[in-house]
Amino acid sequence: MSAGQKPHGAGRSSFEFVDLNVVLQTLSLTPSTVFLDLGCGRGNYAIPVAESMGPRGKVYGVDAWREGLEELKERAAARGLNNITTIHANLNEHIPLEDGTIDVCFMATVLHDLLREGPGGVAMDEIARVLRPGGRLCIIEFKKVEDGPGPPLSVRLSPEETEEIVAPFGFIKDRVIDVGPFHYLFAASMARPPSAAPVISVKKG
């Protein structure tokens, strides 16, 4: 992340346009799920995920934005949630978690930012590393439409482009769900052990 650049989550949020109930249903969480929210920001998703799983579930919230992580901790404490752990880290460098420990890895409007900050290979390789065999990757991204919130059209990722990005790391698309007028959720499963980090190349337009 370059100097002066705001971390993910530090800007305006499009969370209000996402149907959270549809997201939670698609995630299919169990009381013992270990959930990783990458680019968690203030915890708009981490909080309801932790509440829906109950105390046996575990949520890790990772972000490079310290102020957002502090707000997440305060919100969790106010709700009596003891199953959220915040981690300060740059996703394009390293995810400080052990191999094969995560059931569900989740990114909400984060992937396009990672690709603007770098090639994205390190982040995807780290995601594949921390997921357990059979683990799931769930990505919310902006639809490629002109109106509504979000980045310029040229930066947005279609479901096909998202699939092209994650497939070299061993992920197979399960489904794509409409989660609002401006967002979709791309769900994939870890189908095979990842090889050495491939080079990501996505054609735009």
For residue 198, the SS3 value is coil
* Model pTM above 0.85: yes
C-alpha 51 chain-centroid distance: 18
Is residue 141 within 8 Å of 183, Cβ to Cβ? yes
What confidence score (pLDDT) does residue 192 get? 58
What confidence score (pLDDT) does residue 193 get? 54
Burial status of residue 174 (CB atoms within 10 A of its CB: 0-12, 13-18, 19 or more): middle
What confidence score (pLDDT) does residue 12 get? 56
The count of residues in the chain is: 205
What confidence score (pLDDT) does residue 54 get? 94
What confidence score (pLDDT) does residue 128 get? 96
Q: Quick one: residue 26, left, alpha or beta (phi over 0 = left, psi -120 to 50 = alpha)?
A: alpha
What confidence score (pLDDT) does residue 197 get? 47
Which positions ≥6 away from 43 have C-beta within 8 Å? 37, 61, 68, 71, 72, 75, 76, 84
To the question of domain 15-190 being in CATH 3.40.50.150, the answer is yes
- Angstrom distance (rounded) from CA 40 to CA 46: 7
Per-residue pLDDT of the chain (205 residues; tens, 9 = 90+): 433 344 544 545 789 999 999 999 999 999 999 999 999 999 999 999 999 999 999 999 999 999 999 999 999 999 999 999 999 999 999 999 999 999 999 999 999 999 987 778 899 999 999 999 999 999 999 999 988 899 999 999 999 999 999 999 999 999 999 999 999 999 999 875 545 445 444 544 4
- Angstrom distance (rounded) from CA 94 to CA 122: 7
Give bridge partners of residue 9 from the DSSP assignment: none
